[in-house]
């Protein structure tokens, strides 16, 4: 009975959604213009500001654990690698499963079991199983699709994220074009509602057929180009790029490359999952030759490939929890350490936040603790992240200003070290002057003596 009532309430909520739009052009024209204020209203609750004078000291040495958590929540975070299917709340999946009369106890939604195996093949088998379960529960109903997008965006906004790039493959819901149109319009509405800038990448599954990839890219290009019709700036809409994901042990980059080139030629940005497959150096080289705008993961790079990535300065989306869970990479040995030591842009991301039971603030906390990051590091990283987003230059500039303002509210300049420096340098200066005077006096004495002789 209670379930019936709950279902009725859910149904009434669902009917409040706007009807499906099936045309990209029509959808673009109908999109309401939202003024997004991701950070201006954001309340900073950090117990005390972190003095920039401490910028060279690790934050873990300056802040208590609670203060560090608070700081990580308040850092203006930017998520650039978030799969929609892996960002569905477990409670929502349970609810949807119960509504469909499924035995939830037998369905895997999380990747906890992956810790038990060292086999990448087995890991991917279980991952595919988890994603299949999630799709069964979410990719059959447009109301559910809108709900999970809203909840994902809300989750990131509540975590103090100011900019989010979601990525998803195109589902037949009821067809791929309609699905993409729905995702774009839902994001457009949700970003204003939750006060966060959200953009979208269309995912190409490298494990599927080339024909599948071709259709996906073609639909993505159509949608991207329609955004700029009717006066919109190219690249200024919700859809900004394409990405390659899926099982790294499947697919052939040589066959997919021309398709990604088509997307690039249309003006779309490209991010590629990279070096998740150990020992496939030839593929890694070919992917780098393509010069993608960003690389995802970069877990298993040889020395030669690492040097090439460092030379290109291509930003890398780093998912520390994911690398630990999937690839058994110890946090201290995460690629983030190498990238950071070379001042290479490394963007902390979640990959599949709900599957991995993580949040972006948690990823920052792990990085700050593991790599002894300083206030200076954090500030540089935030601004590097802004540079790496795929949104247009106007959005980027707005975001930069918002991030700089938020950073100013988190970190404060202190005169203390300067005072200490001048105090500490006082006796040194006095000694220097005394020695100088003694030397000059000595020289004068020598000249006098010399003249006398």
Binding site for Zn ion (CB under 5 A): 351
Residue (244 or 378) nearer to Zn ion, CB = 244
Min CB(383)–Zn ion separation in Å? 24
Residue (85 or 395) nearer to Zn ion, CB = 85
Residue (129 or 415) nearer to Zn ion, CB = 129
Helix axes 176-194, 142-158, angle to 10 degrees: 30
Query: Closest Cα partner for 301 from 319, 322, 276?
Result: 276
Q: How many angstroms separate the CA atoms of 118 and 258, rounded?
A: 34
Min CB(118)–Zn ion separation in Å? 20
Q: Which residue is nearest to Zn ion (CB)?
A: 351
Query: Closest Cα partner for 156 from 362, 397, 378, 385?
Result: 362
Residue (351 or 365) nearer to Zn ion, CB = 351
3-class secondary structure, 240:
strand
Residue (182 or 351) nearer to Zn ion, CB = 351
Min CB(35)–Zn ion separation in Å? 31
Beta strand pairing status for 77-83 and 294-297? unpaired
Min CB(79)–Zn ion separation in Å? 12
Residue (207 or 236) nearer to Zn ion, CB = 207
Q: What is the DSSP letter of 351?
A: B
Helix axes 90-99, 142-158, angle to 10 degrees: 160
SS (H, E, C) 287-349: HHHCCCCEEEECCCCCHHHHHHHHHHCCCEEECHHHHHHHHCCCHHHCHHHHHHHCCCCEEEC
Min CB(81)–Zn ion separation in Å? 6
430: left (phi over 0), alpha (psi -120 to 50) or beta: alpha
Residue 292, both tokens: 């993608």
Min CB(326)–Zn ion separation in Å? 9
Residue (300 or 411) nearer to Zn ion, CB = 300
Min CB(349)–Zn ion separation in Å? 8
Min CB(134)–Zn ion separation in Å? 14
Min CB(276)–Zn ion separation in Å? 8
Residue (31 or 351) nearer to Zn ion, CB = 351
Q: How many angstroms separate the CA atoms of 138 and 147, rounded?
A: 9
Q: Which residues contact 15 (CB under 8 A, 6 or more apart)?
A: none
Query: Could you identify the residue written with the tokens 């654990």?
Result: 65
Residue (205 or 404) nearer to Zn ion, CB = 205
* Residue 48: how many other CB atoms lie within 10 Å: 12
Q: Is the peptide bond before 174 cis (omega within 30 degrees of 0)?
A: yes
Min CB(296)–Zn ion separation in Å? 5
For residue 77, list its beta bridge partners.
Answer: 161
Residue (59 or 322) nearer to Zn ion, CB = 322
For residue 241, list its beta bridge partners.
Answer: 201, 269
Where do the H-state alpha helices sit in 115-252?
Answer: 120-138, 142-158, 176-194, 210-227
Question: Is the Cβ–Cβ distance between 406 and 162 less than 8 Å?
Answer: yes
For residue 294, list its beta bridge partners.
Answer: 271
Residue (42 or 156) nearer to Zn ion, CB = 156
Min CB(175)–Zn ion separation in Å? 25
């Amino acid at each position: 009975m209670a379930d019936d009532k709950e279902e009725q309430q859910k149904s009434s909520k669902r009917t409040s959604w706007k009807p499906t739009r099936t045309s990209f052009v029509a959808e673009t024209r109908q999109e309401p213009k939202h003024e997004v204020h991701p950070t201006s209203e954001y309340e900073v609750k950090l117990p005390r500001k972190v003095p920039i004078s401490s910028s060279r000291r690790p934050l873990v040495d300056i802040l208590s654990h609670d203060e560090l958590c608070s700081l990580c929540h308040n850092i203006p975070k930017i998520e650039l690698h978030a799969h929609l299917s892996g960002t569905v709340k477990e409670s929502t999946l349970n609810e949807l499963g119960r509504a469909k009369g499924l035995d939830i106890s037998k369905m895997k939604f999380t990747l906890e079991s992956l810790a038990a195996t060292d086999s990448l093949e087995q890991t991917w088998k279980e991952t595919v199983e988890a994603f299949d379960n999630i799709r069964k529960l979410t990719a059959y109903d447009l109301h559910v699709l809108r709900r999970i997008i809203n909840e994902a965006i809300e989750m990131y906004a509540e975590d103090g994220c100011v900019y989010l790039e979601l990525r998803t493959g195109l589902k037949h819901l009821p067809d791929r074009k309609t699905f993409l149109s729905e995702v774009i319009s839902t994001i457009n509405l949700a970003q204003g509602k939750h006060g966060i800038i959200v953009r979208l990448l269309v995912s190409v599954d490298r494990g599927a057929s080339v024909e599948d990839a071709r259709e996906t890219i073609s639909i993505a290009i159509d949608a991207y180009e329609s955004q700029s019709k009717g006066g919109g700036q190219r690249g200024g809409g919700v859809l900004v790029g394409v990405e390659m994901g899926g099982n790294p042990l499947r697919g052939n980059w040589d066959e997919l490359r021309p398709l990604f080139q088509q997307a690039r030629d249309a003006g779309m940005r490209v991010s590629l999952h990279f070096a998740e497959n150990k020992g496939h150096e030839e593929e890694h080289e070919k992917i780098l030759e393509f010069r993608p705008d960003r690389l995802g993961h970069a877990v298993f790079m040889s020395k030669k490939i690492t040097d090439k990535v460092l030379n290109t300065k291509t930003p890398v989306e780093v998912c520390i929890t994911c690398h630990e869970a999937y690839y058994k990479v110890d946090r201290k040995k995460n690629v983030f350490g190498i990238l950071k030591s070379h001042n290479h842009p490394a963007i902390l991301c979640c990959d599949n936040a709900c599957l991995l039971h993580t949040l972006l603030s948690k990823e920052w906390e792990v990085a700050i603790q593991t790599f002894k990051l300083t206030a200076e590091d954090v500030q540089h990283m935030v601004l590097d992240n802004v540079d790496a987003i795929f949104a247009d230059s106007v959005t980027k500039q707005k975001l930069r200003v918002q991030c700089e303002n938020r950073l100013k509210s988190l970190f404060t300049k202190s005169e203390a070290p300067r005072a200490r420096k001048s105090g500490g340098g006082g006796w040194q200066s006095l000694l220097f002057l005394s020695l100088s005077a003694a030397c000059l006096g000595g020289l004068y004495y020598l000249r006098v003596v010399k003249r006398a002789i």
